[in-house]
Amino acid sequence: MWQVFCQDPAQTHALGVALGSSAPGETVVALTGDLGAGKTCFAQGVGEGLGVVEAIVSPTFVLVAEYEGHQPLLHADAYRLRPGEVEGIGLEETLEGWPGLALVEWAELVGEALPLEHLAVTIEIIDDARRFHITSTGPRSAAALAKWRAAHGG
């Protein structure tokens, strides 16, 4: 478990940049946190770290957005998914074969579509600050976590 305290949106963004610039291919990130926690702010940092030029917006209405960067970025948001729709959009297959970095917001709603091996990132709101709780679920995500941590400066 890695915990990171982010005092303001700039620090949240910087944590995302470190992930985007360090993540090995085939990294899936399950992002959890209430509305306004900073998931999109973090995702925009990830996009910057990956060299994505296009603006990253909240994917709430599109469910799944794809961006081109040094590696392809998939940004999914399960907030509005209804039960059964996960299968309908083929999310499990998409995540399974995604070559770059995949961010899944509201990952707790996609159930078994989430690969067993992933980075679990939970954002806790503490007034204007945020505490990130980051865990890996297997050896590949543990390696991704170590690289992310090194890129962030420890």
Ligand X SMILES: Nc1ncnc2c1ncn2[C@@H]1O[C@H](COP(=O)(O)OP(=O)(O)O)[C@@H](O)[C@H]1O
| Long-range CB pairs of 51-55, under 8 A, 24+ apart, other chains included | 51/20, 52/20
Which C-beta is closer to Mg ion: that of 11 or that of 40?
Answer: 40
Among 24, 51, 58, 122, contact with Mg ion (rule: CB under 5 A): 58
From the DSSP assignment, how many helices (H) and strands (E) are in the chain?
A: 5, 7
Q: Cβ distance 81 to 68 under 8 Å? A: no
Residue nearest to Mg ion (CB): 40
What is the residue-wise DSSP string for 88-147?
HTTHHHHHHT-SSEEEEETGGGSGGGS-SS-EEEEEEEETTEEEEEEEESSHHHHHHHHH
The candidate with the shortest Cα–Cα distance to 29, out of 55, 7, 54, 49, is 49
The 80-119 contact track toward ligand X, x by CB under 6 A, reads ----------------------------------------
- Candidate ranges 38-46, 49-57, 90-98, 111-119; the one touching ligand X (CB under 6 A): 38-46
Among 28, 29, 37, 134, contact with ligand X (rule: CB under 6 A): 37
33 binds, among ligand X, Mg ion, none (CB under 5 to 8 A by kind): ligand X
89 binds, among ligand X, Mg ion, none (CB under 5 to 8 A by kind): none
**Which residues contact Mg ion by CB under 5 A?**
39-40, 58
**Which residues contact ligand X by CB under 6 A?**
6-9, 12, 33, 35-41, 58, 128-130
